[in-house]
Amino acid sequence: MSIRKLFFLCAVLVCSGCSSDVFLDHNGNMPENEKIAQIHNGLTKDEVKEILGAPSLTTGLSDDHWIYMSSTIRRVAFMRPTELDRQVLALTFDDDKVSKIDTRTMADGNNIAIDQDKTLSADRKQGFFQKYFGGVGTYMPFGNGKSDKGL
């Protein structure tokens, strides 16, 4: 057998060995459709939690937006993962009662462009020496350097 044929055979065996590693990952806690159908405007947060369980995440500081979501991702060996399915249920509460119910799927998703603008800080620009050596001598591990004779 020639070296070329041997090399080709080894390459085929190596490539075929890892190409069959296909994994499906299911992430999230999307409730069943029968449970989602029980949700309507006017239900309280406690009633919704009893029917659907805890949300995947809440948004905002007021805890008035609940999101239930799930996704299915396909992973093949070392290749880039691809999302096969996504479902999102968003609930908005007003005065502790459901005011808006919104469902989305992967088909409703949008690709969001990342904004490249920069936010400038209010303080002045520092030079090299000020940036890296400006704090030399300001470290005071035992107080602020003043005498505490009164204690």
pLDDT at position 16 is 58
Give the whole-number percent of the chain exceeding pLDDT 70: 72
> pLDDT tens, 81-131?
888 888 999 999 998 899 999 988 888 876 656 667 776 666 667 777 777
pLDDT at position 59 is 74
> pLDDT tens, 23-69?
888 888 889 999 999 999 999 999 999 999 989 888 766 788 999 99
Pairs from 96-99 (Cβ < 8 Å, separation ≥ 24): 96/44, 96/45, 97/41, 97/42, 97/43, 97/44, 98/39, 98/40, 98/41, 98/42, 98/43, 98/44, 98/48, 99/41
pLDDT at position 38 is 94
Which domains, and CATH codes, for the chain? 21-108 (3.30.1450.10)
Whether the CB-CB separation of 45 and 58 falls below 8 Å is answered with no
What letter would DSSP give residue 60? Answer: S
